[in-house]
Structure 1
C-alpha cells in the first residue's frame, strides 16, 4: 500500500460537462472558428481532462470583399443576360415586322403594276378602235363637198323627191328604238318607212340597209341616197341624203329626228336604191 494512499488529493474533482462553442460568419459559405471542447470526469481522482480545438479559417475583410465582388459580378451578369435577351426579342420582333411590311409593299406594288397594265391595255384598245373607225370612215375632201354640192343643186325628182320630202317632214319627231312611225322612229325605221312611200321594200336593220343598193362614192351623192355609218354590212346607223350637203336621220333619244350637215357626223359610205 502506498504511503500516500491515506492522504486526500488537494485537487478538487471537476464536474462533468460538455461545452460546445461555435462561432461562424457566413459569406459565400465560409465559416469562422468552430471550437469544441469536451471533458469528462468519472471520479474524484480522474486524470486531467483532454481538450481538442479545431481551427477554421477566419473570415477576413479581404475575403468578405471578394465575396461581395463575386455577388456583384453575378448580379451584373444576370442583368446583362436579361438585357441581352430583351434586345434579342426586340430584334426578332423588328425583323418579323420588317418582313411583313416588305411583303405588304410587294403586294401593293404588284397591284399597282397590274392596274397600270390594265389601264394601258384599255387605252391601247380604245386607240385601236378609234383608228379602225377612222379608217372605215373616208374623210370628206373639198372635191367631195364640191361634188355633193353640185349634185344637190339639181332638184330631186320622182321617187327621190318623194323620199326627201317625207324624211324632212319627220324632223322634230321622237327617237324610239324599234319604232317605224308615224310619231316616232329609230334610224333604220325612218329609212324603211321613207322608201316604202315610193313602193320600195327595204330590210329592217341598218346592217342590211347598208348593202341594199349600189355602193356610191361620197363625192358623188344624190338626194335620196342612203348614208351609213360603220362598215358595209355591219353599219350601226343610217340616214337619208337630202342634197346641199345635208342629211336627215333619227339620231338618238336626246335629239330625235334631225337635219344636219355631213360635217356634223361624216358617214362611212352610201348606197343608191333609186
Structure 2
C-alpha cells in the first residue's frame, strides 16, 4: 500500500440501499408466494431514549422494506427470567421470523441468558453463541449485523484480505470479537487489541486494515495510522464522532469510513436482509430466490 494525500471515503449508504432494495423485492415475493410477510420482533426493556430511538428507526426501516414488525415493550423492572420468557415465546411463535433484543437491557439483566433464549434460526441480529460459533467456523449462520456489514463494505470496495494484517481495536461480543473471526475466515492475519493493550499505537501502526470498535471518541490518532491503510471506524459517539480522529487519519489512509454514513447504514441493511433470509427458510422457500 502506498501513502495518499486524502483517503477515498467508503460510503455505506449506496451499498446499503442496494441491499435493502433487494431485500424489499424478496420480501414482496415471499408475501405473494405464502401470504405471509417476513416479520421481525423487537424487544425493548425500559425506556432509554437512545434505545427507543434505535428500535423506532429499525421498525420504520422494516416497514419501508415490506417487513412486518412486532414490538414487545417491557418495563425497566423486568427481571431476567421475565425477559427470557418473553423472548422464548417469540422463538416459539411461527408468525415471527426474526428477533432483535435491543441492548443494553439494563445492569440487572443477564443479557447472555436473554440472547440464548433466541432460537438460532431467528437470531437475525447474530448475537447468540450458536451464530458466533457458526461464523467462526465458516458454517451457515447469521452474522452479527455490524461485523457482517463491515465485511460487505470491504468486499464492495474490493479490499483484499488475504495475507493482510488486520488489527481490531475492541473486544465486545457483538462487534470486536466476531469481526476479527470473520476477517480471519477471509485469510487476514488478525490481531485483537483493546483499551488496555500495552503500547497500542505501535500495533495500530502495523495495520493494513484497521477496525476501530472501542467506543471512545477519537481514540485512534491519525498519526498512528499506517500510510495506505484501510480504516473502518465502527464507533459512534455523541456529536457524530467516531473512534478514529477522522481528519488526521484521512491524510494517511487509502480508504476510510465516515461517521455517520459508513458502517451504520450497512448494519441496518444486513439486519433486514437476514430477516428476509430467515423468513424464506422458515416458510419453506429458497432463500436465494425471489429476485431476477
TM-score bracket for this pair, using the shorter chain length: under 0.3
User: Which gives a bigger RCO, structure 1 or 2 (Cα 8 Å, sep 6+)?
Assistant: 2
Give TM-score, length-normalised by structure 1.
0.23
* Greater strand content: 1
